[in-house]
Amino acid sequence: MTLLDEIRTGDARTAGISTSHASAERAAPAILSPAPAVSIAGALNAALRDALAADSNVVVFGEDVGPLGGVFRITDALHAEFGEDRVWDSPLAESGIVGTAIGMAMYGLRPVIEMQFDAFSYPAFEQITSHLAKMRNRTKGRVTLPIVIRIPYAGGIGGVEHHSDSSEAYWTHTPGLTVVSPSNPADAYSMLREAIESDDPVIFLEPKSRYWAKDAVELPVHTAPMTRAVVLRAGTDVTLLAYGPTVKTALHAAELGAEEGLSVEVVDLRSLSPFDDETVGASVRKTSRAAVIHEAAQFGGYGAEVAARVTERQFFHLAAPVLRITGFDIPFPSPKLEEHYLPTAERVLAALDTWEW
């Protein structure tokens, strides 16, 4: 065993390091061993595994999440590790999945359920909006429903309709639901653990086109609280507001804008409901201009709420109207047309050029 190996294993005495230098010994592995590359899918899988291990009341079920490990393999190996009583396949009935989870939560369990694809959640719409979202208010706080509904959402994988919807406006319009969407592996892990620990229902939107994006992350990790937005890139000319899959688009637009002398600030909203007015407001007051990016159609979409909210609260700090760069007002197109539908960095910069600077 080399000295480096001994330091990595933490054996100070065999490495010839005196106990007075124990702090240096403890610091060495972090310096010598870089954090592993972790994908969003891997981080979500780790979060589920750690939550199942930490709390025997946590259960995971949905279509094909058992032995198969989920259509995107987010639940890979969990059925084998925790058994049929903790991780199992459900019938192909989304309304039944949510209704079953509501009953389980009333009896003290903490269900984490998967909708497999975004538009598959629509058959469960009534259960979610009429019962899941309203139970705490209906019972004057006596019944809470700690349920996480994981929804792989949005486009970018050639999945056509029913497999590429961005349904965030439906859920954020429903009081009683917390709606969040991570954009990177660290947030995926931290926000899912926090969602599972929440005593109220959380709609957890997973950007499926980003499942395999990797970052160097040492798990477990705790990032900002899931209800807070985060400034990912500082700038002074304009604030780009993005979440989930469009965070990558916003960062790309910021890089291209910098080549043209534009200083772009990128804010990852992370939480769609509740909305972090404090972080967004501080950014807009600094830049005086804002644009929101999402994949869903524009009319009646989530961007309209963001634009109205920013305008109401920051009107006297704005130098121009808040812009929306979104998908078009059509059903999600076929795979051959998908690249023309989804907002790109070039479309973002073209929209910013419509302002009088």
Question: What average pLDDT does the structure give for the chain?
Answer: 92
pLDDT above 90 for 162? no
The amino acid present at 252, given as its one-letter code, is H
Express each pLDDT in 224-283 by its tens digit: 999 999 999 999 999 999 999 999 999 999 999 999 999 999 999 999 999 999 999 999
- Percent of the chain at pLDDT above 90? 89
Of the candidates 240, 133, 134, 228, the residue with the CA atom closest to the CA atom of residue 180: 228
User: Residue 38: enclosing H or E segment and its boundaries?
Assistant: strand 37-39
Q: How far is residue 69's CA from residue 13's CA, in Å, rounded to a whole number? A: 44
Question: What does the pLDDT look like over 2-25, one tens digit per residue?
Answer: 333 332 333 333 333 333 333 334
Q: How many CB atoms within 10 Å of residue 160?
A: 15
What is the pLDDT averaged over residues 333-340?
93
pTM of the predicted model over 0.85: yes
pLDDT band at 160 (very low <50, low <70, confident <90, very high): confident
> Rounded to an integer, what distance in angstroms lies between the CA atom of residue 114 and that of residue 121?
9
Per-residue confidence (pLDDT) for residue 9, from 0 to 100: 38
The catalytic residue positions are: 163
Handedness of CA 229, 292, 274, 171 (dihedral sign): negative
Length of the chain: 357
pLDDT at 198: 98
